[in-house]
Amino acid sequence: MRAVIKSIGAYAPPRRVSNDEFAKIVDTTDEWIVSHTGIRFRHIAADDQAASDMAIEAGKIAVERSGIAPEDIDLVIVSSASSDYLGFPATACIVQNTLGLKHAGAMDLLAGCTGFIYGLETAKNFIISGSAKAVLVIGAEILTRIMNWSDRNTCVLFGDGAGAAVVTASDDDDRGIIDSILRADGSGAELLERPAGGTRKPFKPGETDPSELCLRMDGGKVYTFAVRVIVVTIKALLEQNNLTIDDIKYIVPHQANSRIIEAASKRSRIPLEKFYLNIQEYANTSAASIPLALNEMTEKNLLKKGDKIITVGFGAGLTYGANLIVW
Ligand code: UT7
């Protein structure tokens, strides 16, 4: 038995913000942002939207496209670094209720920008073990809500959105989520963090520096880490499945910076054209970036049955990983 991606859905908030808008609030330019990151636009959620609102939109589309009744979904996993609530309740529970997933368990998964990759592998194992027949995996982020809007090093880089996949059991041995690599290097935990508000550094009115409630990143160090792990992870996944890069139709990377992908392409000698990029439109949407890209690819009819693809990601934790999928 295999676990296959039966359907994909995605949602991006309608408000589309150009780099020029950022030049009005921080010392930056469209030229700097495009040349250093490849980002031209990002979508920003409305004030009354939370991560679950976007997760619900994406999840609804994926469930409808799957043809599976909501009550037949056994589990919903929401990967998010910007969930509705600090700690609890899980954003997945809000999604479960609104989508009418009456018989589903619901849990959040925190693996930073690698969250969707971790989510797919988790779903696969629930299916292969027989404990679930259909799992809804969602990556949903509203990172603009936790930005320090006076920090040009970070605020220009992120956007909001959600993507979802319904993973089901299949007897077709030639398709599915074939293999994954999930890894972490917690020694880099402080390189990408939201320092205060948790139990390590609880919020104290009048004492907590508001910027410590926002995302903080050592961009240069994360950049170096990202290029290295993209290269080693793809290589390891190919080797352990006796494949070469010529067997792979597309690599769908986490969209953090097009220069990271260009550097990884150069170092690994994998042609840049194999990497699917849409960062120019959405910026970095963390756990949502890979399903947003997969959704776009399916809508453009780029993925045919039997195509082998690799997703690869990295992010807060630090985490990294990849899935090998036969479409
Ligand atoms: O999703 C996973 C987590 N995120 C990432 O993977 C992001 C990883 N890192 C990156 O993408 C890049 O390191 C950045 C985009 C964050 C920075 O790009 P860079 O080419 O590595 O720039 P840099 O850090 O070398 O900075 C060069 C200069 C600095 O000025 P000084 O100190 O040399 O005077 C920055 O202050 O660029 C400055 N800078 C900016 N200038 C204009 C940083 N942000 C901006 C900005 N506009 N928005």
**How many angstroms does the Cα of residue 139 sit away from the middle of ligand 1?**
25
Per residue in 24-40, pLDDT (tens digit) is: 999 999 999 999 999 99
Catalytic choice (93, 113, 155, 214)? 113
- The number of folded domains in the chain is 2
Long-range contacts of 150-153 (CB under 8 A, 24+ apart): 150/25, 150/26, 150/211, 151/26, 151/211, 151/214, 151/216, 152/22, 152/26, 152/27, 152/28, 153/217, 153/219
Element (H, E) at 170: strand 160-170
Return d(Cα 307, Cα 303) in angstroms, integer.
6
Identify whether residues 197 and 253 lie together within a single domain: yes
Residue 92 shares a structural domain with residue 110: yes
* Whether residue 25 sits in one domain with residue 102: yes
- The whole-number pLDDT of residue 270 equals 97
Domain that holds residue 110: 2-173
Over residues 58-82, the pLDDT tens digits come to: 999 999 999 999 999 999 999 999 9
Judgement on whether residues 169 and 279 belong to the same structural domain of the protein: no
Which of 148, 173, 198 is at the close of a domain? Answer: 173
- Give just the sign of the alpha carbon dihedral 256, 237, 232, 123: positive
Model pLDDT, residue 147: 97
Instruction: For a ligand 1 pocket test, name from 36, 158, 285, 292 the mutation site with the most ligand atoms within 8 angstroms of its C-beta.
Output: 36
Q: What is the mean pLDDT of residues 275-299?
A: 98
Considering the domain architecture, whether residues 300 and 255 belong to the same structural domain is answered as: yes
> Of 142, 158, 173, which one is at a domain's C-terminal end?
173
Q: What is the pLDDT of residue 174?
A: 87
Q: Is 69 helix (H, G, I), strand (E, B) or coil?
A: coil
Are 120 and 188 in a shared domain?
A: no
pLDDT of residue 173 exceeding 90, the answer is no
Report the percent of the chain where pLDDT is more than 70.
100
Given 138, 173, 208, the domain boundary residue is 173
What is the rounded distance in angstroms from the CA atom of residue 195 to the CA atom of residue 202?
Answer: 9
pLDDT at 198: 95
Of the candidates 19, 257, 284, 323, the residue annotated as catalytic is 284
43 catalytic residue (yes or no): no
In tens, the pLDDT along 186-204 reads 999 999 999 999 999 999 9
**DSSP letter (8 states) at residue 213:** G
Residue 325 phi, psi (nearest 5): -125, 130
What are the tens digits of pLDDT across the range 108-167? 999 999 999 999 999 999 999 999 999 999 999 999 999 999 999 999 999 999 999 999
Contact 128/3 with Cβ under 8 angstroms? yes
Q: What is the mean pLDDT of residues 295-309?
A: 97
Site to probe by mutation for ligand 1, drawn from 25, 218, 223, 289 as the one with most ligand atoms within 8 Å of Cβ, is 223
Whether 242 is catalytic? no
Please name the residues in contact with 266: beta carbons below 8 A apart, sequence gap of 6 or more: none
Q: Answer for the pair 178, 160: CB distance below 8 angstroms, yes or no.
A: no
Residue 56 and residue 115: Cα distance in Å, rounded?
A: 17
Q: Name every protein residue with a CB atom under 6 angstroms from any ligand 1 atom.
A: 28, 32-33, 36-37, 113, 152-153, 156, 192, 219-220, 222-223, 226, 256-257, 284, 286, 315
| pLDDT one-digit tens code per residue, 217-242 | 999 999 999 999 999 999 999 999 99
